[in-house]
C-alpha cells in the first residue's frame, strides 16, 4: 500500500524524463496512484516519454493560454478517470528577452506571456479541474524561491513571486472545497527549463556550496517526493505553504 493508493492524479509539464514532473509521475505511480498527464506542443514527445513510466498513462493536450482547452479539460480527463484527488502544476515559460539580465528592457508583451503561462495558469488549471475534485484533494505547484532577486532570472522571478501569492489566494478560496494548495520550491536542477535560462551556470556553481545539506543539480527525486507527500493524506491540515526542497540554501545568508 503506497501513500497515494487509490488516488487519481493529474500531472502537467512532463516533457522529458529529466523533469521534476516526470519524477513526480513515476513516484506517484509507485505509490499507487492512477495517472493522467497533460502535454503541450510536442505531443508525440510527451507520449513517448509517458511510455517510460511504470504504466503508460493517457496524455491530454493542454495549452493553458487556450480557453477551449481549459473549458473542456474536465470532460477530457473524465474519459479516463471518474475524478481527481490531486493536480500537479509544472508549467512555466518566459521569452528569452525576459531572462538573462535584460530586466529593464523587456517589453510588456513578453512579461505578459511569462505571467500568463507561469502564474495565472496555476489558477486556470485548478479551476479547470475543480469539477472533478468533488471529494477534495490537493493542488501542488512547482516553484523557485522568489524572496530574492536572483541573477539572470529577471521576469521569471517576478512571475514566481506572483505564483507564491496566487498559491495563498487559491488556498483561501479552495479550502471550502476541501482542497489543499501548496508549492514546492526546488533548488536549481538541470532540466530543459533550466537550459533555457541564459547564465544558469551561476546557479550551478554556487548552489551546492551554499546549501548546508549539499545539492545535486541532476537529482529531481527529492522535489518529487515532496510533491507526492503533499498530495497524500499525510498533510491534511497544510495549505498555502511553500515547502523548500533546496538543500537548505534558502535559509542561509550569502
Active site residues: 153, 160
**Cα angle for residues 118, 163, 126 (degrees, 5° grid):** 80
Separation between Cα atoms, residue 113 and residue 111, nearest integer Å? 5
Place of cell 551546492: 208
Separation between Cα atoms, residue 170 and residue 254, nearest integer Å? 32
Handedness of CA 181, 187, 193, 196 (dihedral sign): positive
Burial of residue 42 (CB within 10 Å: 0-12, 13-18, 19+) is: exposed
Alpha helices in the chain (DSSP H): 20-30, 43-50, 67-71, 73-78, 108-115, 121-129, 154-174, 192-195, 201-210, 221-231
Separation between Cα atoms, residue 232 and residue 229, nearest integer Å? 5
32: left (phi over 0), alpha (psi -120 to 50) or beta: left
Cα maximum dimension of the chain:
53
Beta-ladder partners of 88 = 11, 140
How far does the chain reach from its first CA to its final CA, in angstroms? 43
Amino acid at each position: 500500500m503506497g501513500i497515494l493508493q487509490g488516488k487519481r492524479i493529474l500531472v502537467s509539464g512532463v516533457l522529458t524524463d529529466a523533469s521534476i514532473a516526470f519524477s513526480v509521475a513515476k513516484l506517484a505511480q509507485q505509490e499507487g496512484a492512477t495517472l493522467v498527464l497533460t502535454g503541450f506542443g510536442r505531443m508525440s514527445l510527451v507520449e513517448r516519454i509517458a511510455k517510460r513510466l511504470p504504466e503508460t498513462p493517457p496524455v491530454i493536450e493542454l495549452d493553458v493560454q487556450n480557453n477551449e482547452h481549459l473549458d473542456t479539460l474536465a470532460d477530457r480527463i473524465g474519459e479516463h478517470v471518474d475524478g481527481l484527488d490531486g493536480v500537479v502544476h509544472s508549467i512555466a515559460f518566459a521569452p528569452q528577452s525576459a531572462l538573462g539580465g535584460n530586466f529593464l528592457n523587456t517589453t510588456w508583451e513578453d512579461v505578459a506571456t511569462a505571467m500568463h503561462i507561469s502564474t495565472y495558469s496555476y489558477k486556470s488549471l485548478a479551476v479547470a479541474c475543480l469539477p472533478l475534485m468533488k471529494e477534495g484533494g490537493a493542488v501542488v505547484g512547482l516553484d523557485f524561491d522568489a524572496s530574492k532577486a536572483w541573477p539572470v532570472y529577471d521576469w521569471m522571478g517576478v512571475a514566481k513571486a506572483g505564483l507564491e501569492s496566487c498559491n495563498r489566494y487559491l488556498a483561501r478560496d479552495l479550502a471550502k472545497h476541501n482542497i489543499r494548495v501548496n508549492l514546492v520550491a526546488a533548488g536549481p536542477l538541470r532540466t530543459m527549463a533550466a537550459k533555457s535560462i541564459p547564465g544558469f551556470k551561476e546557479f550551478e556553481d554556487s548552489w551546492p556550496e551554499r546549501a548546508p545539506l549539499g545539492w545535486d543539480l541532476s537529482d529531481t527525486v527529492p522535489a518529487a517526493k515532496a510533491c507526492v507527500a503533499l498530495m497524500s493524506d499525510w498533510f491534511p491540515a497544510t495549505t498555502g505553504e511553500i515547502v523548500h526542497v533546496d538543500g537548505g540554501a534558502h535559509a542561509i545568508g550569502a
